[in-house]
């Protein structure tokens, strides 16, 4: 690994928080007749296509909260929930603000924070990320979002934007993520990268392949493993 980074920038959905388990639990509690796991995956499946509409210019700049709502309205009929009233839709859409962290996250981030500047680099909007951090106790030094750069990952403006915010060369920033495509885009911009294994990101019934891939500076089981590898 090159010299230790000065800043660790964390992808959030799937890396820091368990979106699938959190959304599935909310749906099961509200609508026991609905397959919560399938609902969570369907909602998430619309995420990249919705952002691509923004990236392509087909849709003007739109916050993730608003994209989540567009996707929600599209999938409700598939689960027999087309009659859900407006207030309930707004409340359910805020489920993305209430995602629970993985079990290793709070301890791992506390260790890393003692030695490094830690921030988000998420496609989630600032309000969403702030509410999530407040509820879960995530100890970020700074919340950076696609909203700051008006560009969604993997646009280089996001990765290079972190370096610019902290007045650092890209090589002194490390992206921490559970998604190889995110890490590859960061590496192309000169950032260091650390892969975090999240085999249950899509639920226990759809385990994810977390085997190592070439290119990353670090491959870690979880945030505590990352802290140990970085001497924190």
pLDDT tens, 121-179? Answer: 999 999 999 999 999 999 999 999 999 999 999 999 999 999 999 999 999 999 999 99
Average pLDDT, the chain: 96
* Alpha carbon distance 46, 228 (integer Å): 36
pLDDT confidence band for 205 (50 / 70 / 90)? very high
| pLDDT tens-digit readout, 65-108 | 999 999 999 999 999 999 999 999 999 999 999 999 999 999 99
pLDDT confidence band for 2 (50 / 70 / 90)? confident
Q: Smallest Cα–Cα separation from 175: which of 138, 207, 220, 208?
A: 220
Residue 134 class from Cβ within 10 Å (0-12 exposed, 13-18 middle, 19+ buried)?
exposed
Query: Are the CB atoms for 43 and 24 separated by under 8 Å?
Result: no
* Alpha carbon distance 105, 137 (integer Å): 10
Neighbours of 97 (CB within 10 A): 20
pTM of the full structure: 0.96
Tell me, rounded to whole angstroms, the distance of Cα 92 from its chain centroid: 18
Give every CB contact of residue 80 below 8 A, 6+ residues apart in sequence: 33, 34
* Alpha carbon distance 61, 76 (integer Å): 24
Please identify, in words, the CATH class of the domain defined by 19-97: mainly alpha
pLDDT of 93 reads 98
DSSP assignment, residue 95?
G
pLDDT of 1 reads 63
Domain limits, the chain: 7-18+99-229, 19-97
Please identify, in words, the CATH class of the domain defined by 7-18+99-229: alpha beta
* Alpha carbon distance 22, 110 (integer Å): 22
Burial state string for 27-54 with b = 16 or more CB within 10 A and e = fewer than 16: bbeebeebebbbbbbbbbebbeebbeeb
Query: Are the CB atoms for 193 and 217 separated by under 8 Å?
Result: yes
């Amino acid at each position: 690994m090159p010299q230790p980074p000065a800043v660790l920038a964390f992808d959030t959905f799937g890396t820091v928080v368990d979106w699938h388990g959190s959304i599935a639990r909310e749906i099961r509690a509200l609508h026991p007749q609905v397959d919560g796991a399938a609902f969570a995956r369907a909602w998430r499946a619309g995420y990249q296509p919705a952002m691509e509409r923004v990236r392509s210019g087909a849709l003007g700049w739109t916050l993730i909260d608003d994209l989540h709502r567009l996707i929600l309205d599209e999938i409700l009929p598939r689960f027999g929930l087309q009659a859900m009233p407006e207030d309930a839709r707004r409340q359910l859409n805020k489920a993305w603000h209430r995602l629970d962290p993985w079990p290793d996250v709070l301890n791992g981030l506390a260790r890393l924070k003692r030695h490094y500047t830690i921030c988000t680099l998420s496609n989630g909007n600032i309000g969403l990320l702030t509410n999530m951090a407040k509820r879960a106790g995530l100890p970020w030094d700074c919340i950076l979002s696609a909203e700051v750069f008006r560009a969604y990952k993997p646009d280089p403006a996001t990765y290079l934007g972190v370096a610019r915010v902290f007045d650092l060369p890209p090589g002194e920033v490390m992206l921490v993520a559970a998604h190889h495509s995110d890490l590859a885009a960061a590496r192309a911009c000169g950032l260091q990268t650390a892969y975090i294994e999240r085999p249950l990101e899509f639920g226990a019934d759809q385990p994810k392949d977390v085997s190592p891939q070439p290119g990353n500076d670090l491959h870690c089981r979880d945030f505590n493993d990352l802290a140990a590898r970085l001497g924190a």
